Amino acid sequence: MENSFQNEEKKIILSGIQPSGILTIGHYTGALRNWAAMQDEFNCYYMVADLHSITVRQTPAVLRKSTLDTAAMFIACGVDPEKSILFIQSHLPEHSQLTWVLNTFTGMGECSRMTQFKDKSANHAENINVGLFTYPVLMASDILLYQANLVPVGEDQRQHLELCRNLAQRFNNNYSETFIVPEPYIVKLGAKIMSLQDPSKKMSKSDSNSNASIFLNDDDTTIKNKIKRAVTDSGSEIKYDESRPGISNLMSLYYIATGKNYQAIEEEFSGAGYGDFKIAVAEAVAELIAPIRDKYFSVRKDEKALKEILTYGAEKASIQARKTLRKVYKKVGFVNF
Ligand code: TYM
């Protein structure tokens, strides 16, 4: 397989998704949709973040399967292995190696301020491990190893990216220019899709209520039923308003599926009720997901080909990862091996 990655002039993108369950429409809107759109303009590295996912206890066979499911979903959402480098994070030891070095540049206070650490510690009180604590340092290593300029993510990752930028600057200031300081790339619309059952919280693949999330492999009927059952706010007008998160969330989904902005949606549904609007959203979202789901099942069927793509991706990624790590080891004073 060949890939068109050799253009040195293009800026670099890196992003990742944890393989901790079937991906939702939130992953699509916050990340994957943008990943696919950026492939021609940038040199892109996209990885399945399996090292991150073991900060919460996983069943080994399930993790192995989810890792491949997640990679197949990247391709189903339009990530093209001939344009971008697709790989599994644990295939590259450099991610863990750089994390160790950056751990020594990270304050305990910085990690304890991370909202995701606080949330996850509350949700997994029985297993608040050190990995969960240094999770954002591993994420910084993922990004800095590839000298990424831009990191396309959803809103919930903004704080982690801020830490990454601080670590890059701190390291550069302490030694000399080593890392590119990356910028977050967070789209305005769709960067935070909320739960269909509780629009005050983020839609998540691990929600215990499966009606709360639209999964990218849900069938048409399931999608339509979930949207029809979505919790809405009091009132009946189809109008975007942050104090009415239920209807606003459905409007975001309709925007993602149709490309119509909020004003156009408000005009289209002026005088209509929630019932009519939900039917339209349900139809549009089902239409959006159908080709993704079909492609996902066809890619996932050929596990051998999928693994070949990931092996090839890891080999390609390791060229840059080794180069950065060598530079870092030299700067901190390790004897050349
Ligand atoms: P993760 O696996 O939780 O989510 C992956 C990506 O999907 C986005 N996302 C959403 N966007 C909008 N609405 C939602 N409801 C929603 N749910 C998820 C997330 O913002 C994210 O962009 N730590 C990261 C994975 C990671 C990473 C990296 C990302 C590891 N290393 C390096 C960027 C760069 C995470 O747990 O994402």
pLDDT at residue 3, as a whole number: 61
HEC profile for 94-113? HHHHHHHHHHCCCCHHHHHC
CATH C-level class of 210-296? mainly alpha
- Ligand 1 binding pocket includes 26 (Cβ within 6 Å): yes
Task: Give residue 296 CA to ligand 1 midpoint distance, Å.
Answer: 19
pLDDT at residue 4, as a whole number: 57
pLDDT at residue 5, as a whole number: 59
Pocket test for ligand 1, best of 28, 157, 163, 206 (most atoms within 8 A of CB): 157
Atom number of ligand 1 nearest to Cα 14: 34
Q: Does domain 12-190+302-332 have CATH number 3.40.50.620?
A: yes
pLDDT at residue 103, as a whole number: 98
pLDDT at residue 9, as a whole number: 84
Domain range list for the chain:
12-190+302-332, 210-296
Query: Nearest-CA neighbor of 269 among 239, 303, 298, 308?
Result: 239
pLDDT at residue 1, as a whole number: 58
- Ligand 1 binding pocket includes 313 (Cβ within 6 Å): no
Catalytic residues: 120, 202, 205
Task: Give residue 17 CA to ligand 1 midpoint distance, Å.
Answer: 5
Query: Which residue reads 């944890």 in tokens?
Result: 18
pLDDT at residue 125, as a whole number: 87
Task: Give residue 27 CA to ligand 1 midpoint distance, Å.
Answer: 7
pLDDT at residue 77, as a whole number: 98
Residues of the chain where predicted confidence (pLDDT) is lower than 70 = 1-7
How do residues 177-222 score in pLDDT, each as one tens digit? 999 999 999 988 888 999 999 999 999 988 889 899 999 999 999 9
